[in-house]
Every structure is written in structure tokens, then in C-alpha cells.
With several copies, the nearest count.
Chain A
């Protein structure tokens, strides 16, 4: 991302944040109307967690088809960001839950499903840590991501609808639940966070690529340090 885009993103997020506190009215109908502003940050993070998971599955599939190392890097970077946003969604959600439901953790289906999602991501990285060879690591983690995908679809879309929940469902897209002002602010913040997501994605990817280049150079050139250390 070029400098202009970065600055625009920063300004946008700052603007939305300010608006969330100054422009957005306290949400009536909540136990603690003032603190309800946090949905504006909470929900975009939660959605980005799913987006990251989708991106991860998408690149995993393409890696298996094409076997290009770059695709594997993209998949793993997406998973890293997914984990990050899952933590953010959980932290904001827990703060909110403390105010609204009186307890930071209630084993609400949404809470359960995000924990499971984090477990999948964690398992994904444990798996990556368990395989030395880069090609094998890429294949196995891609396969795992694709195996976990149907399970995650189930946990995210089917389970919260089977089990009763404290969480509101279907408020984002159907008109009934969310106040339009809230919806605008929320989606504006989402757009800002999406830009951050893309920026971080490309940044991490560049780091990964550089690391791969360093590794390759180390392999092809004789190690210079060895001769120097000789006692």
C-alpha cells in the first residue's frame, strides 16, 4: 500500500472512532447504553476473523492446486491475522459482556464458536511448527485448513442457530435490529479495519518473502561464519 492509502486509512479510522464516541447516541435498550458503542469495534473484528479464515482456506486450496510457495505464505499470514482479530473480538466482546450480561464469559454459542476458531488457528500453527520441511509443511497445513473448513462453517453458521443464544443474530443485514446510525458507523469502521487488514497482510507477506530469500541464500552460499570461528 502506498503512503497516501496508509494516511487515508489512518484518518478514516480515527474519524470513525471519534464519531463513535461523539456522534453516536447511547444505545437505548441496552443495560448499559453508553458502553454499547463498543459493538462498532467488536463486530468488525469478529467479521474479519471469519474473513481471514475464508482467505486462509482459499489460498490453501490454491496452494494444493498450484504448489507455489507464495500461496502458502499468503495462507499462513491470513491465519496469523485471523488469530489476531479473534483475540480482538474476544477482548472487546468480553468487555461488552461484562457490562451487558454481567460476566465476562458465558459460554454463549458465539463465544464458543470463536474459541473453537482460535483453537483451529492454534492447531494450524502447532502443525506448522511440527513440520520441518517447507514443502511438506505447506501441504499439510493447507490440507488441515481445508479439513477444518466444513467444521468451522458448521460452528459458525449452524450451531448458533440450533442452540439458543444470548447473542443477537441476524441484526447486521436484516433491518430490524440495529439502529441505522449504528449500522453506518459499524460498517465504516469495518471498511477501515479491512484496509488495515490488507495493509498488515501485505506487510507480513513481504517479511515472509524476505525471510525465505535469506534462507535460500544461506543454503546456496557456503557458510562464511564457519571458517572464521575456527579456534
Chain B
């Protein structure tokens, strides 16, 4: 068995197990979604059309909501392992790389599911006129993936500390800030009539570049976070 196929196989097993746990407890996704939906509805209520909030603020708000909803869910994959004292069992069975890749895959899937529900609702309730659909969809996919990449390793750090839920927000924010800002900028480009792809290519490159840097960096430090 070659080494590379070994971590892929491990990651697959971890991903499958986490999906199964999710399916069993049924609540992670449901709750993250409802959390996001609640915030979207609340924002829609507070910033309904007569209040005349600019499209720029709306773009920020969308990503802030996605970020907070992500906070509600993304750190769980590691926190649950520590809280239920299964982390040691996982350490015994799976290599750090396998664990990280499996958890990252799960978080990305969670973020996508989150966006599939939240974003259309947001566009509807806040009456956002999207001019460049293909660009917007690309931004949402890349942005949410980048958020998951940025925060997965932070989740592992948080899992080792007490008072996890809130701590995650604090630690994740600085790491997630670059993709957050870039995604907000690119979203504005996709909503405004002018610019479009031309205005956003730089942002998209930054997003991809960010992922290409943060994932290897996370892998590098993850082993030290994960093992005692």
C-alpha cells in the first residue's frame, strides 16, 4: 500500500464516519442552516427595502452571516472528538494527514450545503439584483471553500481549549478575514452592473492562492496541534 493512497483512504473513512454521525444526529446541518436562515430573516426584517441600505453593505452582511453560521458548525468536527473523548481512538487509528483531509472535506461539504440554502434566500428577501450570475456562483463556491480551508485547523486548536464555541469565533476571525474581505469585494463586483468578471479576476486569484497557501500550512501545523 503506497503512502499517498493510505492517507486518501483514511481521509475517506473519516469523512464517511463524520457524514454518518451527521446523519445520525441529524442536527448539525439542520441547525447551522436554521441559524443562517434565522439571521437572514432577521436581516431581511431589519434592512428591508424602505431602509435603503446600499448593495455594498448587503454584500458584507451576506458573508458575515455565512461566517457566523460557519462558526456555529465548522469547529464541531474536532470539538466533538475531544468532548466525547474519541480523539484518542482516532489518533490511534488514523494519521494526522488523514484526519485533517477528512475533516476538511466534511467542512467544505457543510459550507456548500449552507450556501445552497442561505444564499438564494438572502437574494430573495433582501431583493438583491444580481447582474453576473456565473461570477456570483463562482465567488460563492470559492469563498465558502476558502472559509472552510481557513478555519478547519483553527477548529482543531479550539478543540483543545475550554469554552470552545465562542473561542472559535475569536480565533477564526483573523484567519478567515482575508478570504472574507476578498469574497465581499468580489460579491460587490458580481452584483453591480459594471465590472463583472473583469473587476473580480484578481479577487478570484487571491482566493485560490489563499487556499493553496493555507491548506499546506494547516497540514504542516496540524500534526503538532493534533498529537499531544
**Residues of A in contact with B (beta carbons under 8 Å apart):** 64, 105-107, 112, 115-116, 119-120, 122-123, 126-127, 129-131, 136, 139-140, 142-144, 146-152, 154-155, 158-159, 162
Contact = CB atoms under 8 A, between A and B. Distances in A.
A115 B174 CA distance: 10
A142 B185 CA distance: 31
Given A119-B38, A143-B153, A155 B177 contact: yes
A82 to B, nearest CB: 13
Contacts of A130: 25-27, 31, 161-163, 167
A127 B45 contact: no
Contact of A148 (B25, B27, B175): B175
B174 A127 contact: no
Interface in B169-222: 170-171, 173-178, 181, 185, 202, 206, 210, 213-214, 217-218, 220-222
Contacts of B31: 126, 130
Contacts of A122: 34, 170
Contacts, number: 106
The 10 A-B residue pairs with the shortest CB-CB distance, nearest first, are: A130-B161, A143-B221, A154-B178, A130-B27, A120-B174, A107-B48, A129-B26, A143-B225, A150-B213, A64-B224
Nearest to A129: B26
Interface residues of B, number: 44
Most buried by A among B44, B176, B225: B225
A61 B88 CA distance: 25
A126 B30 contact: yes
A139 B160 CA distance: 11
Contacts of A116: 174, 177
B28 to A, nearest CB: 10
